[in-house]
Structure 1
Amino acid sequence: MIVDDTSIQELRGRLGGRVFLPGDEGYDDGRKVFNAMIDRRPALIVRCKGVADVIAAVDFAREASLLVSVRGGGHNVAGHAVCDGGAVIDLSAMKSVRVDPRSRTARAEGGSTWGDFDHATQAFGLATTGGIVPSTGIAGLTLGGGIGYLNRKYGLACDNLLSADVVTADGEFLTASATENEDLFWGLRGGGGNLGVVTSFEYEVHDVGPVLGGELVYPLDQAEEVLRFYRGWSSEAPDEVRADATLLSGPEGPCLAIIVCYCGVVAEGEKVLQPLRQFGSPMMDAIAPVPYATVQNLLTEVFQPGLRHYWKSGFVREFSDEAIGAIVDSFATAVPPPFAAVAIEHLGGAISRVGEGDTAFSHRQATHSLLVLRVWQDPAESAENMAWGRACYDAAEPFLDNGVYVNYLGDEGEARVRAAYGASYERLVEVKTRYDPTNLFRVNQNVTPV
């Protein structure tokens, strides 16, 4: 869409931040996101400096009938941070994090990443459940639920959300919490980006000192045996531990890696992890007491921006021997060069003790999720790599629930969107209809208002 110069100049006059148009220096950098598969050209990018800029940008886009996308960390695999021909409301310059160690709370602006958040909170020996890669934005992760290495002990990121400041589709600034705009607060905790632009998040934070963390690596021919042991061990593990089992093809060839984070007394963690560490014949055992940030950075190299990503995901319904055999066989039959993975993520614990209807994230009883991901560089190899990802997912699908973690969902159609929101979908429609009746915020896993 072409926006006239007069309107752009009026917008610039209302902003403390900047507007980038096609051809401007900084425009191409502003439209780049984590997944290099995404190559979209917005009509303008509004890089906001604060809440007043966000209000101005929302008003401008609504009055001009522009398509709107909202950029926090820009890490979403589907690329919903940018759109073609519309307005990008870019929060990436809004990154401040303020920690109050006395009240055990932290407030972070919507452009912050988990790296920003952990840097600020760990100065006080505090943290909350956040993404497992520092470059992940706090906004997208929290709004989609928010799994991470602390999720079994402290719940999802959205379970630790105390309040949120939101600019709604009509340009109104609201605070949502358990006592204020409660329906909006419910919807923000798992409803994705459907309900407005969240300019800041207030979280409960917890004591998180050194953790017992790292990885065990097994040769691929031990994968089925180790996964059968992992199935029982992980299901009985205490809340302090999250352990993710991942079939991966890395620079040194295919293997099974189990990444562990035990958040608690290290001596107790040693006892809990001992059966896992003694099982089989691992090629590497790199588990040790380390700073929490060390575990948070274990996958940084894999998830560096600028690579091409394809993901398919679901929650595990049946973790049977048959399921394990099918997953390992599909991975081992045609293992591509790096990087490819089938990750089994450890859920349960505190996540399951929140009521299914208490937040918009409704998949509370899932004990594990499965994520097939493929990462590559050459655009000419895209079809081949996506086909590999689909084949691995197809092998696992008979053992998965209908639901899917919304933050892992690509553009897979309305049925999958409904599956992502699950039992919360109809209530989300009601909340969406109240706060965004014209569906201004629709570049997301969209809930259509009535």
Structure 2
Amino acid sequence: MRSLSLTTALVALALAVGGSAGKSNTGKSSKPPGHGPGKPKIKDVSAACNTLFTTLPNQVAFPNTTSYALSSNYWSTRQSALHPSCFLTPSSPAAVSSALKLLTSNSIPFTVKSGGHTAFPGSNINSTGITIDLRLLNTITVSPDRRTVSVGPGNHWINVTTVLDPLGLAVVGGRSADPGIGGLTLGGGISYFSGQRGWACDNVRAYEVVLASGEMVTASPTSNSDLYWSLRGGAATNLGIVTRFDLASFEQGLLWANSLVYNATLNSTLIPLFQNLTVTGLPSDPAAHTYFGFVRQPELGEYLIYSDQFHATPASSDATNVPEVFEPFAQVPALVRLPRLSNLTALLQAIQQPYGERQIWMNVAVKGTSAALLQDILPLHEEHVQRMLNSANGTRVTPYLTFQPIPVNVLDAMQVNGGNALGLTRDDGPLVIVQSATAWVSEALDWNVESSTRVFIQDVERLAKRRNLDHGFIYMNYAEDSQDVFDRYGPDNKKRLREVAKKYDPDGVLQKLWRGYFKLWYQA
């Protein structure tokens, strides 16, 4: 997860060295008032902004206004450097429907923002059209039976845990405070609870979706089930704007968590432990969750190894009691150990990276059956880091390498309700997502960082293929826009996704007008 563990690790190091809610849609569709025959066509984006300003009062923000600045808040400065003609901040799903009808019927380019936490520029903002900012669709409603939480896409995950923690409830969702509900869930959504329940997309009971036509429908296992399957990893940019997620909820108390920081010279000891955890440890204890990585911190010894570990059902109220699945790591000397019992809100707040830097993520999955492969990825990462440092001329560049396991128990849990669109089964596993992430400050370094990151991921794939340990899956939420995510879902899933997208958008309006993110590019 980009630098999921960075903040936790640095906090720990500092200690060490310095002391639309309500009932679910029944499946009936409602069409908004149309643009209507005989009405003049809107000629350009500026005119569209003015029309939206008239038809949806107080929901359009123009440049040099406070509301425009609020919508321009993006995690990666590569994103916030772009400036749309206007932001539309719809106040209801009906407003989304009306706006989409107007935009598509007049061929106006647009993009959609949920949390604004994607790294690459143009993914959910553009400078040639209108950006629909869903931040006002921020309701969070718990059903009377406490089994479903209806969440608007304008929420960040910290909003959800803040509501659910006092109720003793949780959903399968993000591990960091800032990402939005929409992007994380629609792209997959790795969670603390994935070992038992799969990814976030596997725990959506129903989606409320506005289609390209402006029609509002429900997608669930029993209503528009093909659309429901496609939204589980298929990117809504090809299918429609999701205006509500009905998430399965469950009883949850405190989690056990431990942040560990090691000297990187211990990699030959720790990597086999991590690899064995992926193959045998995590499947033996599905309540456990972890990730493992490397960060360059020259002021603290060049490279450091970090690992955050979590357990959903701690065995005791004593945080120093390490769950058996993680016991081998407790035997290795660490620079920092930070065990604690925590609610989700505190965990999400501890694991976040500040806004204000330029960001890139790329990733690819390899077979998780070889510690030697993971070990031999490290020199490739060091070469990548050195390339970036050589071009940085002393400006700050912070690179991360993270290994994220996908053990077979997670793959099994993904198969509920007809499975998701990712194309992964137990036979594919266990897998490890190799994720490269870099934060930097100088725009002049963009090309060097991007090109070096691509070379690194290509090197990882080549190394894995030589050893017959390649898989090729690319996790959308950590992907860069040059990566063909859908191609890595497999030909059958890609074909099926295209067929579903064409069914719900037969004219290919969204693939033509919805700018940014990942496209299926089917023939309309």
Fold conserved between structures, TM > 0.5: yes
Q: Which amino acid aligns with 2:231?
A: L
Instruction: Note closer, same or farther for the CA distance 1:12–1:40 as it changes in structure 2 (3 Å cut).
Output: same
The match for 1:355 is 415
Alpha-carbon spacing, 1:216–1:143, altered in 2? closer, same or farther (3 Å):
same
Alignment correspondent of 2:504? 435
Equivalent AA in structure 2 for residue 91 of structure 1: L
Structure 2 CA distance, aligned partners of 1:4 and 1:262?
52
Q: More deviation in 337-346 or 223-232?
A: 337-346
Rg larger for: 2
Asked whether the 8 Å contact 1:144–1:189 carries over to 2, the reply is yes
- Report deviation, 1:424: 1.5
| Counterpart residue identity of residue 376, structure 2 | A
Provide the secondary structure at the position in 2 that maps to 1:162: strand
Letter in 1 for 2:108: L
Alignment partner of 1:406 is 2:476: yes
Q: Determine the C-alpha separation between the residues in 2 that align with 1:332 and 1:421.
A: 31
Aligned partners of 2:171 and 2:66: how far apart in 1? 37
Q: Deviations over 1:130-173 (max 9, x none)?
A: 12211111111111111122211221101110011111000001
CA deviations on 1:262-290 (whole Å, 9 max, x unpaired) are 11133497342452333322111112222
The residue correspondences of 1:92-131 to structure 2 (distance < 5 A) are 92-100=135-143, 102-131=145-174
Moved more, 118-127 or 76-85: 76-85
Range with bigger deviation, 283-292 or 331-340: 331-340
8 Å CA contact 2:175–2:192 kept in 1: the answer is yes
Output one character per residue of 1:48-76: Cα deviation in whole Å (capped at 9) or x when no partner: 11112101210121122111211111112
Does residue 195 of structure 2 align to residue 160 of structure 1?
no
Between stretches 266-275 and 390-399, larger displacement belongs to: 266-275
Q: Distance in 2 between matches of 1:440 and 1:88?
A: 16
Q: 1:226 to 1:96 in 2, by over 3 A?
A: same
Counterpart selection for 1:244 from 291, 298, 314: 291
Higher percent of residues as helix: 2
SS of residue paired to 2:350: coil
SS where residue 123 of structure 1 aligns?
A: helix
Distance 1:422 1:76 in 2: 26
Supply the AA of the counterpart residue of 1:208.
Q
Structure 2 counterpart of 1:12:
53
SS of equivalent to 2:212: coil
Contact 1:247 1:331 in 2 (8 A): no
2:306 to 246, 257, 270: 257
Deviates more, 1:245-254 or 1:189-198: 245-254
Structure 1 residues 69 and 168: alpha-carbon distance in aligned structure 2, compared to 1, 3 A threshold: same
Gaps (5+ residues) in structure 2?
A: 1-42, 390-395, 465-469
CA shift for structure 1 position 423:
4.2
Name the SS of the counterpart of 1:325 in structure 2: helix
Give the letter aligned to residue 398 of structure 2: F
The secondary structure found in structure 1 opposite 2:185 is helix
Q: Any residues of structure 2 matched to 1:25-424 within 5 Å, and which?
A: 25-38=66-79, 39-78=81-120, 79-100=122-143, 102-193=145-236, 194-237=238-281, 238-250=285-297, 252=300, 253-267=302-316, 270-300=322-352, 303-333=353-383, 334=385, 339-348=398-407, 349-355=409-415, 358-364=419-425, 365-366=428-429, 367-397=431-461, 398-399=463-464, 400-412=470-482, 415-420=484-489, 423-424=492-493
More moved, 93-102 vs 334-343:
334-343
CA deviations 1:371-407 (Å, max 9, x no partner) are: 1000112223333433443344244223242220111
C-alpha distance in structure 1 between counterparts of 2:267 and 2:480, whole Å: 28
Counterpart of 2:35 in structure 1 is none
196-205 or 81-90: bigger deviation: 81-90
SS of the residue 2:142 aligns to: strand
Q: How far off is 1:16 after superposition? A: 5.0
For residues 439 and 83 of structure 1, the distance between their equivalents in structure 2, rounded to whole angstroms, comes to: 20
SS class of match (2:510): coil
Relative to structure 2, which stretch is displaced further, 114-123 or 317-326?
317-326
Secondary structure, aligned partner of 2:372:
helix
What's the C-alpha RMSD, in Å, of the aligned pairs? 2.4
Change (3 A) 1:387 1:277: same
**CA distance in 2 between partners of 1:66 and 1:24 (Å):** 22
Contact 2:366 2:432 in 1 (8 A): yes
- 1:295 Cα shift? 2.5
Percent of residue pairs bearing the same amino acid type: 22
Structure of greater relative contact order (alpha carbons < 8 Å, 6+ residues apart): 2
Gaps of 5+ in 1: none
Report the Cα distance in structure 2 between the residues aligned to 1:166 and 1:17, rounded to whole angstroms.
23
Partner-residue secondary structure (3-state), 1:119? helix
Residue type of the alignment partner of 2:250: H
